[in-house]
Amino acid sequence: MEQQRWSASRKGRRPASKRGRLAFVGLVPFLSVALLSCANRLDLEGPDQPIAFSHKTHAGQLKVDCQFCHLYARRSASAGVPSVKRCMGCHEVVESDSPAVRKLQEYWDRKEPIAWKKVYDLPDHVSFFHDRHVRAEVPCQDCHGDVGAMERVRQVKDLTMDECVQCHRQQKASVDCLACHH
Ligand code: HEC
Ligand code: HEC
Ligand code: HEC
Ligand code: HEC
Ligand code: HEC
């Protein structure tokens, strides 16, 4: 009897568990799309970079000016990321025994640029110019948040068209489609 009941219930359960599995399989692409779209936009962590560079240490505690490293922000469309040489200006002597700084030294010895992963990235049909904003004294923080408090830079604002246009209206900058789209 015991045996019988066991096999009956096993038989009865089979279609149910198959349905469950199908439902789960159906959920996987949905979940990964949901996760990917989160990762694309407001990232909570920021990407894992080739060297554990901390804005909290450099821009926060040491108060190194943003434009000491992002030196094209005032004069061109892109802000630019510092060369290894800029880092070595300090790290030839500072913390030269730390494993992370030794890794930096190896890039320098090989004359190899560091392939930092991008955090912010607008679609190609949009033109963005740092110089126009920096010269109009729009603070970096208005778009990038309090970077000096971040261990790893992460995207804190979507920077959607709505956000751009909203500030442009407030600050009487152009809302002409062709100002931002070519
Ligand atoms: C103005 C000087 C200066 C510049 C420029 C600079 N750093 Fe630093 N960095 C420091 C100082 C000082 C510390 C130590 C801070 C502390 O521990 O409180 C440090 C710490 C570090 C550390 C952590 C070391 C450890 O293991 O504790 C890393 C990694 C690092 N810097 C990488 C970089 C990289 C990469 C660049 C270039 C993008 C750079 N630094 C540019 C001064 C500088
Ligand atoms: C000592 C050099 C240094 C200083 C000072 C510094 N940065 Fe950076 N910044 C870097 C490096 C190196 C990267 C690339 C690695 C990373 O994302 O952490 C970077 C990346 C960034 C990014 C992400 C770029 C992307 O990929 O989209 C932003 C935004 C940024 N910095 C803003 C700032 C702001 C704002 C300040 C001042 C509060 C500042 N940085 C100060 C070196 C610096
Ligand atoms: C009005 C908004 C705004 C302001 C102000 C602003 N940024 Fe940006 N930043 C952006 C956008 C949007 C991108 C992405 C651009 C793209 O993908 O074409 C970006 C990208 C970057 C990048 C990575 C790509 C690059 O341009 O080299 C860095 C580094 C950066 N910003 C640093 C800064 C610093 C430092 C300041 C202040 C001096 C600043 N930004 C001020 C909106 C802004
Ligand atoms: C926090 C406010 C603010 C935000 C956010 C902002 N901007 Fe601006 N933007 C300005 C100001 C102020 C000017 C005017 C500069 C001037 O008068 O030269 C400007 C100027 C510009 C210009 C030059 C316009 C011209 O007259 O040729 C472009 C292009 C531009 N912004 C694109 C963007 C894009 C794209 C975004 C969103 C990713 C954006 N801006 C987000 C404040 C902002
Ligand atoms: C101040 C800058 C700015 C102005 C002005 C602006 N746009 Fe945009 N637009 C953007 C940015 C940034 C994006 C990309 C981010 C997004 O999709 O929100 C975008 C995206 C778009 C897209 C693509 C949307 C999508 O879903 O992919 C269209 C279409 C567009 N804009 C049309 C226009 C038209 C039409 C005008 C004039 C009425 C205009 N834009 C004015 C900044 C601007």
Q: Give the integer Cα–Cα distance in Å for 129 and 174.
A: 13
**Is the whole model's pTM more than 0.85, yes or no?**
yes
Percentage of residues of the chain with pLDDT beyond 70 = 76
Q: Is 131 in the pocket of ligand 4 (CB under 6 A)?
A: no
The mean predicted confidence, pLDDT, of the chain is: 83
Q: How many Cα atoms within 13 Å fall on the side-chain side of residue 63?
A: 0
Distance 161 CA to ligand 5 centre (A): 5
Query: Residue 45 has what pLDDT?
Result: 80
Confidence check: pLDDT of 19 > 80? no
CA of 153 to the centre of ligand 5 (A): 25
Query: Confidence band (pLDDT; 50, 70, 90) for 176?
Result: very high
User: pLDDT (tens digit, 9 = 90+) per residue, 62-111?
Assistant: 999 999 999 999 999 999 999 999 999 999 999 999 999 999 999 999 99
Cα 147 to ligand 5 centroid, rounded to whole Å: 26
User: Tens digit of pLDDT for each residue in 25-50?
Assistant: 444 444 444 444 444 456 678 899 99
Q: What's the rounded mean pLDDT across residues 116-140?
A: 96
Ligand 5 close to Cβ of residue 165 (< 6 A): yes
